[in-house]
Structure 1
């Protein structure tokens, strides 16, 4: 009997909504960034990762770019040691007001400010390897976070964490944030052609170059718009309308409409990460 229920336990654990984009999303953004960076940049990344023991986080190892991109979520289990980074994963920019990144990031403790900061740290060859490897991990992770719409925009509900919603027949404690963080991301990334290579295959070189352009503020605005126009509008109709009394459900038809949105956000995040890695390490 125990052997029979093990696969179901594994599925439940894998579905734990503890991290932005869950593991799959961050792994994919990191892999696309690595794939699209120059060979010289990849070699420098590999040399940094080879020194992962200097981080002294054996329960959160970094063996490749996927591990690095997920590491900032993994270290949340170490509690006080890295608790200072908790507010770096998101920025609460109100989707029902004019876009204002300065107000949301006035103290620098937000995801877009930390992307800029960690890119500078990664580029600084005078720093110890340990600090630059941490900067690599934070940079890869936060670029992924910024492209999860509900980490870039909200309506005073902690990025949809307070908006209960169902994903098909999956309900209970699910909310809009956990659905976009995990269930939709997993579906979108695995949808054929899946994984990093499959998502990239849908874009020609010209489209990739265009997607990688822009500033961190441009990307913040774009994800904020996606939060309003897709994440909230999908379940509320009016993204600034009243919170429904009954839990809204994202059904199969809606999921299929959102899969291209998810894939575009993952592709954008990965391509922009690749650009930032080249700029920092070239």
Structure 2
């Protein structure tokens, strides 16, 4: 084969394997939000739309929240806005040790973790006395945080910042990524864009009876599930024993491993959207249901 043809084929393979159209903080979050939009009750959709029409009250023109998809990335967008939202930095994750029994008490001390903030913002949405501006912010926060929780590297940790300290290669993308980034971006984009793609495609593969089952449980139940995926899928696939010695050099997530992980990652995204829809149906419904505050 001529050298030029071999180069062209190699470049095509590289691009097909490694280039994400969007990172999880966009594509993943937006897809979770769009699944929720399709799944929620029509009356909930109307109430969500009414709140989003008031999104200018947030006074963050550089970070719009006019649609649920825009609202899903608002909590990341506002991070650079000086100190206005610095208090929320630790709300995007929970460092639950993947090598110890599951326990949220210490990682969620004083409510500073993603699951506690999902519950808090659900209560704000359910409370009829909360001002509209705070409800809009609660809607943006909960939409983002449910997405965060369903990215396993935000739910499980091994004293490595959710895999940020685990240097890794994603196929041909060598020497410049890590375990967290793989799950946030490269792998998420690959999974969500695999046909049937995007929110409608993902949701089309889940029967109505399964959606009801997925929506059940508590935020703590979902946290335990995602923590398990961090341990048994994310860490184990890349480094073998997630609780053993650190790998030498940069382990590589191969194409075969990517293919094996795609169904699980697609499930996490669609589960997140279905569960977000349930939380919004509960909070904005006639009974204004929300998780009770921890005592």
Q: Deviations over 1:49-107 (max 9, x none)?
A: 00111111011011211001110011112131100000000000001011111121122
How much has 1:13 moved relative to structure 2? 9.9
How much has 1:14 moved relative to structure 2? 6.1
CA distance in 2: counterparts of 1:86 and 1:199, whole angstroms: 30
CA distance in 2: counterparts of 1:51 and 1:99, whole angstroms: 39
Aligned to 2:89: 86
Indicate conservation of the 8 Å contact 2:188/2:265, yes or no.
yes
Moved over 3 A (4+): 11-15
CA distance in 2: counterparts of 1:40 and 1:86, whole angstroms: 32
CA distance in 2: counterparts of 1:77 and 1:187, whole angstroms: 28
How much has 1:35 moved relative to structure 2? 1.1
Q: Does 1:155 align with 2:158?
A: yes
Q: 1:233 to 1:12 in 2, by over 3 A?
A: closer
Count of matched residue positions in the alignment of Structure 1 and Structure 2: 269
Aligned to 1:31: 34
Aligned to 1:171: 174
Aligned to 2:268: 265
Q: 1:12 to 1:227 in 2, by over 3 A?
A: closer
TM-score, length basis structure 2 = 0.88
Q: Does 1:127 align with 2:130?
A: yes
Pairwise CA RMSD of aligned residues?
1.5
Structure 1: which 5+ residue stretches go unaligned? 1-7
Structure 2: which 5+ residue stretches go unaligned? 1-14, 286-295
CA distance in 2: counterparts of 1:259 and 1:12, whole angstroms: 16
Structure 2 SS opposite 1:160: coil
Aligned to 2:8: none
How much has 1:171 moved relative to structure 2? 2.3
CA distance in 1: counterparts of 2:75 and 2:247, whole angstroms: 34
Q: Does 1:137 align with 2:145?
A: no
Aligned to 2:189: 186
Structure 1 SS opposite 2:84: helix
Pair member with larger Rg: 2
Q: Deviations over 1:98-144 (max 9, x none)?
A: 11111211221000000000000111222221100000010011011
TM-score, length basis structure 1 = 0.92
Q: Does 1:108 align with 2:111?
A: yes
CA distance in 2: counterparts of 1:115 and 1:273, whole angstroms: 10
More helix, by proportion:
1
Structure 2 SS opposite 1:81: coil
Structure 1 SS opposite 2:209: helix
Residue 249 of structure 2, aligned match among 238, 246, 263 = 246
Q: Deviations over 1:7-42 (max 9, x none)?
A: x9xx98966x6xxx3200000101111111101100
Indicate conservation of the 8 Å contact 2:19/2:186, yes or no.
no
Structure 2 SS opposite 1:245: coil
CA distance in 1: counterparts of 2:218 and 2:20, whole angstroms: 36
